[in-house]
Copies of this chain bind each other. A is one copy, B any other.
Amino acid sequence: MLTKNKIKIIRSLANKKERYAQQLFIIEGEKIVQEAIEMEVPISEIVSLADQKEKIQFPHLSIASKQDMERCSALKQSPGVLALVPFLTWKDPDLSSGKYIVLDGIKDPGNLGTIIRIADWFEIDGIFCSNDSVDVYNQKVVQASMGSIFRIPVWYRDLPAFLSTCKLTKMAADMEGEDFASYDFPKNGLIVMGSESHGISDRVKSLTNASITIQRKGKAESLNVSVAAGIICERFSKA
């Protein structure tokens, strides 16, 4: 059975500071938990309703009541199973080649999760986030990533320092660049995208080599950053 203390720990992981203190995050739902098991992600523990435990083959399985499960869940309605997962570890990237996304100050967890999923669809090698971006282990990021969080490395960096030393082509996606549709994407490089409200910061922008834009035909003021990432990565993935 799930102890009171364990419930307390699980609930505390909704808080970034606690996640980092314990180096643990939560995944919720049968699909992502099964995917983690199949991918042999090192899971600390799985918590499940009694009637769902048959579906999960895992040695460390605690059974929880419906009420306790709801108390543990960050979702409106608990899907009935969750897992505690140690922080993922990624090798430092070899930046002599590869395709990467760089995110400058992304705050919306749904956007980061969706961009991780885009990276996984288009075989982007990883994502660099500025240190002030939303935490990749935020439960909304994890849910929106739909399991892609286990395949796509996300690193946090001081972006100006990182970009200063990185030799790959740095392409800023902004409102005044060259039309991305006719842009000759390099095989290797970094697509730099700005935050939802402020775009790319001046300091980061000054460290890029090229500027690309998705041409607007209508009247919307901007595109959602994850939609823009999807449109650009579709082309970039073919370079």
Contact = CB atoms under 8 A, between A and B. Distances in A.
A219 B122 contact: no
Interface stretch (A12-20, A68-76, A201-209, A224-232): A224-232
Contacts of A238: 181
Contacts of A230: 223-224, 227-228, 230-231
Contacts of A214: 121, 234
A161 interface: no
B114 A220 contact: no
A218 B110 contact: no
B223 A118 contact: yes
A224 B218 CA distance: 23
Contacts of A221: 146-147
Given A217-B237, A234-B231, A223 B110 contact: no
B218 A121 contact: yes
A117 B220 contact: yes
Contact of A151 (B110, B144, B219): B219
Interface string A183-224: 000000000000000000000000000000010111111111
Contacts of A122: 216-218
A49 to B, nearest CB: 21
A74 to B, nearest CB: 15
A119 to B, nearest CB: 8
A178 interface: no
Nearest to A151: B219
16 contacts: A118-B223, A121-B222, A122-B217, A122-B218, A144-B224, A148-B219, A151-B219, A151-B220, A181-B234, A217-B237, A223-B230, A224-B230, A226-B227, A227-B230, A228-B230, A230-B230
CB-based closest 10 A-B pairs: A227-B230, A120-B220, A123-B218, A123-B217, A121-B220, A120-B218, A114-B224, A148-B220, A231-B234, A117-B220
